[in-house]
Structure 1
Amino acid sequence: MCIIHLFWLLTSILNLAVAQKAIGVKLNNPLFYGGAPGTLRAVNDEKIEVEGHWGIFNAGLFARFPLKKHWAVHTELLLKNERAKYTYTLYKQEMIAPYFAYYYLDVPVLLQYETREPAINPNAIRPFVQVGFSPKFLLKANYFSSQLDAEQNVYPYFNKVVFTTQIGGGVLWQTEKLFLLADMRISVNLTPVAGIVRGIDFSNGRSYTITFSGAVGYKLPLVSLQKNLTN
């Protein structure tokens, strides 16, 4: 709940600096979502093979704040699901690969540059690029294995906050009331998701994800900076 309060505090602060904003929902396309946990190592020094994760559905909220001419600030509050699947090479044919599943509240803050100035033709399709950072707050972490009767909670062994850098691009289009956006984004962890968990060392792994998403939002009425300050 504190993270949600921080998100809306950020939107309130930015509201003092801009004339108009848009808020809405964002969904990724599972067919165009993929990622990998990076380099993992077995603590017993046995060779392991690591697999990525694909076809996962994520969703959340976004808020967009135009700045000056081509620039805008884009923030999100997303539920994100990531996985790390591995097998010991020596026993690959004899076992079903176990995996870790970890779930985050992802809060990216991105600076966005639009190639066309909105004031000139606000209804035109505008390509953009964006770059920024994101703290990811751990919500849940589980371990799955065919040798266990049920999933195992490994939340205590994972880092509670992970920092990422993000870069992407896409197109946006707006009407008088609606705001539509489609983007492709790459997110790379700057810090590890965990240390040693169930005999697997995550400390040198820097996971990444690539995702294609769509968003639809509502453009809030124009409010002048002077009116904000006087109220």
Structure 2
Amino acid sequence: MKQFFITLVVASLATIGYGQTAIGVKGNDPFLTFNVFANVKSGGNYNVEYFPELILPNVGVFANVRFASHFAFQPELMYKQEAISFQRENENLERGDRHFIRFNSIEMPMLLHIQGNNPFRGFGQIGVGPKFLMRATYSERQKSARTDISRYFNSTQLVFHLGGGVMWETRKWIFMADGRFSGSISDISSDSYNPYLDFKDATSVYLSFSVGVGYKIR
């Protein structure tokens, strides 16, 4: 898988040298970001209830390379936070009293844009990309001290992306707003032992709304 990721990154960097290219920054609205995990199991001999989380940052930089009238390539380098809160079954805790596991990652979506020709236009996007885990932590409560549990998770994952949005293009700038579905397509963890939750068969779904601005360098 590492060779695949390296090839993907090299091809992305090479593509930036062709076509109309804009470099920019983008970020999500944390209040319009939704993260849920599926197929998570208890790490002990008891049942658990787990919950989706909101208010998660996803920010970074992008390049938009238009190589044909209706197509563009957009590689991104993004900081991403994911989270899951959980409790024992029927424990009925307030959100702030639940247990939390958080994931901080660097993500590199490689996206194909299919778009119109007008200065103000819609676009669809689809692609894959690697996600590199920086740190995974556990906390007894939402705001209590965090324990590093990164060793229980795979350091690299492959993620699928699908979405769409609108773009406004001027002579020197592009402005974008888009919604995106992202889902893990490789294992989050290869280790069935975890003292808190078992992620061996788990998948992650991330829904976000982002805005971005880019400056045309060619």
Give the TM-score of the pair, scaled to structure 2.
0.88
Cα RMSD of the aligned pairs, angstroms, is: 2.3
CA distance in 1, matches of 2:57, 2:13: 29
Contact 1:48 1:88 in 2 (8 A): yes
SS of equivalent residue, structure 1 residue 92 = coil
Task: Tell whether the 8 Å contact from 1:47 to 1:90 is kept in structure 2 after alignment.
Answer: no
Give the Å deviation of 1:192.
2.9
Unaligned runs of 5+ in 2: 1-5
Q: Deviation per CA, 1:72-100, whole angstroms, max 9, x where unpaired?
A: 11110000000111110143359921111
Contact 1:41-1:201 at 8 Å conserved across structures: yes
Runs of 5+ consecutive residues of structure 1 not aligned to the other structure: 222-231
Counterpart in 1 of 2:127? 132
Which residue among 149, 167, 171 is the counterpart of 1:154? 149
* Structure 2 residue 201 is matched with structure 1 residue 204: yes
Structure 1 residue 9 displacement after superposition: 4.9
| Aligned-partner Cα distance in 2 for 1:93–1:10 | 48
> Are the aligned partners of 2:57 and 2:79 in contact in 1 as well (CA < 8 Å)?
no
Query: How far 1:208 moved relative to its partner?
Result: 0.5
Is 1:44–2:44 an aligned residue pair?
yes
Q: Is the 8 A contact 1:7 1:77 kept in 2?
A: no
Q: For residues 102-133 of structure 1, what are the alpha-carbon distances to aligned partners after superposition, in whole Å with 9 as ceiling and x for unaligned?
A: 1110000011100x23xxx4xx2110101010
Name the residue aligned to 1:53: 53
Tell me whether 44-53 or 56-65 shows the greater mean CA deviation: 44-53
Computing the radius of gyration over CA atoms, which structure comes out larger, 1 or 2?
A: 1
| Identity over aligned pairs, percent | 28
Over 3 Å counting, the alpha-carbon distance change for 1:168 and 1:93 in structure 2 is: closer
TM-score normalized with structure 1 length: 0.83
Question: For each residue in 1:187-228, what CA deviation from the matched residue of structure 2 results, as whole angstroms up to 9, or x when unmatched?
Answer: 01112322332241111211111000000010013xxxxxxx
Which has the larger share of strand?
A: 2
One-letter amino acid matched to 1:86: F
Structure 1 CA distance, aligned partners of 2:54 and 2:217?
Answer: 35
* Paired amino acid for 2:148: N
Paired residue for 1:213?
210
Q: Is 1:113 aligned to 2:114, yes or no?
A: yes
Compared with structure 1, are the counterparts of its residues 175 and 220 closer, same or farther at alpha carbon in structure 2 (3 Å cutoff)? same
Task: Give the counterpart of 1:145 among 113, 137, 140.
Answer: 140
User: Are the structure 2 counterparts of residues 144 and 62 from structure 1 closer, same or farther at C-alpha, using a change threshold of 3 Å?
Assistant: same
Give the length in aligned residue pairs.
Answer: 209
3-state SS of the aligned residue for 1:193? Answer: coil
TM-aligned CA deviation for residue 19 of structure 1: 2.4
Equivalent residue letter for 1:219:
K
Correspondence for 2:3: none
Q: Match of 1:35, as an amino acid? A: N
Instruction: Name the CA shift for 1:207/1:12 in 2 (closer, same or farther; >3 Å).
Output: closer
